[in-house]
Amino acid sequence: ELKVEQNPLFLSMQEGKNYTIYCNYSTTSDRLYWYRQDPGKSLESLFVLLSNGAVKQEGRLMASLDTKARLSTLHITAAVHDLSATYFCAVGNTGNQFYFGTGTSLTVIP
Amino acid sequence: NAGVMQNPRHLVRRRGQEARLRCSPMKGHSHVYWYRQLPEEGLKFMVYLQKENIIDESGMPKERFSAEFPKEGPSILRIQQVVRGDSAAYFCASSPLPGGNTEAFFGQGTRLTVV
């Protein structure tokens, strides 16, 4: 079974600071997705990464994928309070599933 | 194009009752996934269905749980004889292509509480 690990699980950061969330997965895949979930809400798609070396940016968030290292990163630049949420990475596999990481709960404090 | 629609949003059942959760995928999407999320945890895959077919149910408990996606109508996740441990948020997602090849779009979830 494909395993997806995220770290850190919990992240408290000050506004204006930068940080990176890591997503490691256990078997070969070239499809990696990042989602955001606000408390009590559904999951919102943030990024779709479909090839080695893919990099996508939206506002203060930037995601990248290294399929050889089986690693994706979600980098946060100059955090603001509105980014407080739980972030999930998910990996697609040839078995037609999405496997989710455990999530990173981000709190941005003033 | 409406998003993935789940109903009900909240469902309360007594122990031993049945729970039926419905999911209407986005228009044009024929691939449906069900996930369970316990408080403060990630999403656990339960089942992947295409129209009229169960493709992968490796995440489904062997007893009391079943899922279907008929030719007409929504996908249904059915939990028989619910127990307190079934209390969770159940999310449905849909995609236009086979799982993993494109992003999945999620519904708002059904929050099941067993009392």
A-B Cβ pairs (cutoff 8 Å, strict):
64
| pLDDT computed for residue B1 by the predictor | 53
Q: How many CA atoms lie within 13 A of A17 on its CB side?
A: 12
Residue A82 φ/ψ, nearest 5 degrees: -65, -15
Give A29's pLDDT tier (boundaries 50, 70, 90): confident
> Please, are residues B27 and B2 in contact by the beta-carbon 8 Å criterion?
yes
* Distance between CA atoms of residues B2 and B24, nearest Å: 10
The per-residue pLDDT for range A30-85, each reduced to its tens digit, is 789 999 999 888 899 999 998 888 999 999 999 999 999 999 999 999 999 999 99
For residue A16, CA distances in Å to A9, A63, B84 come to: 20, 18, 43
Whether residue B105 and residue A45 make contact (CB cut-off 8 A), yes or no, is yes
| pLDDT computed for residue B67 by the predictor | 97
Residues of A in contact with B44 (CB under 8 A): 100
Burial of A95 (0-12, 13-18, 19+ CB in 10 A): middle
Give A98's pLDDT tier (boundaries 50, 70, 90): confident
SS3 (DSSP) at B111: strand
Place of tokens 């739980």: A86
For residue B52, CA distances in Å to A42, B31, B45 come to: 26, 10, 19
**Average of per-residue pLDDT across B1-14:** 91
> Please, are residues B94 and B25 in contact by the beta-carbon 8 Å criterion?
yes
The per-residue pLDDT for range B65-111, each reduced to its tens digit, is 999 999 999 999 999 999 999 999 999 999 887 766 678 899 999 99
**Average of per-residue pLDDT across A98-109:** 91
In chain B, alpha helices (H): none
Whether residue B100 and residue A101 make contact (CB cut-off 8 A), yes or no, is no
Burial of B106 (0-12, 13-18, 19+ CB in 10 A): buried
Calculate the CA A58 to chain-centre distance: 13
% chain B with pLDDT above 90: 71
